[in-house]
Chain A
């Protein structure tokens, strides 16, 4: 009975105009967005996008021509008068010649089109390989189950700093990313900026991109890496150079010191409890590198690798029971009494 009713409801839903509206809406949003290959914001994604549209349009033209010829042949065959003779369907030598010429031309055109595809593809590949500019920004990315460790290199070790799941880059400057993985193979993919590149344990890979428009672009692990593969996202924040420089200055600093007694209590909760076993907050005794670096946690857009917006409520829920938000994640559930939790939240929210 229930099944029957739900089937009826499903049926009426399919018939409703919602589906059409949704399809049209989805088709139109696919061309823009902060995680879309069809909305390129850098030279690499642009090259791939150009290749995509070129191949797609040529393939569409070929498809239309083939279907048109097929329809014409069907129509013609059903309308022409039956030829007379003993073998009415055997072509005359004249017709055979015409057919032969037709086939030769069709094969030649196909070969030419396909070879031009190869050239287009290879030249796009060589464009992708060349670094688009000089003096690249060098960033190390390490894949973990299931988050991204990001290190901004500097010849002066004092200026080196770490963050997680968020990569800030200056607009117009190429970014060279050196990648490896801590556990299994991951893949770095920010569709608006560049194609995929795998992160392989015990091996270094390199990719680069350049963001030509300021904005926030979402990236995603593109190689299945375990339970929370789908919740392993990162954000690339492309900013004007000045804004980027001030971000760098702020990130280089040690963590904010607690400003009131509540935050001081929160710091104690962090350092004495299990948090310090996995996370780093520079300027404190917490220096473990197993979990994401939290030195400037409050300055980030999201928590848990793009899983939740970085708000106090989300952070509280995440600390208490991460396994219900991201089952399988390495962070254990924590039993913290309400006062300590409030103190801890106040401390973490202050880590700008």
Chain B
């Protein structure tokens, strides 16, 4: 009788644990299909320097709307190939452009910095995508670029490649430590 009761308590315990764990699924990341259309870029307020004349004002902080959102990172990965980012950054490894998998960020590694780098372009080769991509697509790219640099959570996997798999996933890769050949004096080191 006693053993029976214990078994029943155990069963109830396991069942309620299962029920609780199923609730976790309710709070999954969202896939938002219907994003706002591309507005005038909102990165105009982002400055590249933390130094300011006059009384100190806090820099604008744009939040990455897709922080830790695996779907957005995956979309960003597709865009990275489609917009030919790989043409210069070569799947994050760098070539004509600087590598994105290391910890050197010439123009800043904050989401807002990467956003404005993509939208405005940078000297010596980075083209400006102003008016060419919807804002939300730029943010998806930002999420992916941050994932390349290991700045997204480990749990945010970028799904498989669209091509034959010949390399490790971005998150599994070791971060390199290349020496930057040229760092513009205005660069913000994060």
Contacts and interface: CB of A to CB of B under 8 A. Distances in A.
Nearest to B38: A335
Interface residues of B, number: 20
Interface string B123-151: 00000000111101100000000000000
A332 B163 contact: no
Nearest to A335: B37
Contacts of B132: 273-274, 276-277
Contacts, number: 52
Interface of A is mostly: loop
Contacts of B83: 277
B34 interface: yes
B131 A327 contact: no
Interface string A247-281: 00000000000000000000000001110111000
B26 interface: no
B82 A290 contact: yes
B164 interface: yes
B39 A335 contact: yes
Nearest to A334: B37
Nearest to A181: B162
A333 interface: yes
B37 A272 contact: no
B35 interface: yes
A33 interface: no
A324 interface: yes
Given A277-B83, A278-B82, A290-B82, A333 B37 contact: yes
Given A278-B82, A332-B136, A335-B39, A324 B131 contact: no
B37 A277 contact: no
A276 B132 CA distance: 8
Interface of B: 31, 33-39, 78, 82-83, 131-134, 136-137, 162-164
List the 4 shortest-distance A-B pairs measured between CB atoms, nearest first. Answer: A335-B37, A332-B134, A333-B37, A323-B34
Interface of A: 182-183, 201-202, 227, 272-274, 276-278, 288, 290, 320-321, 323-324, 327-328, 330, 332-335
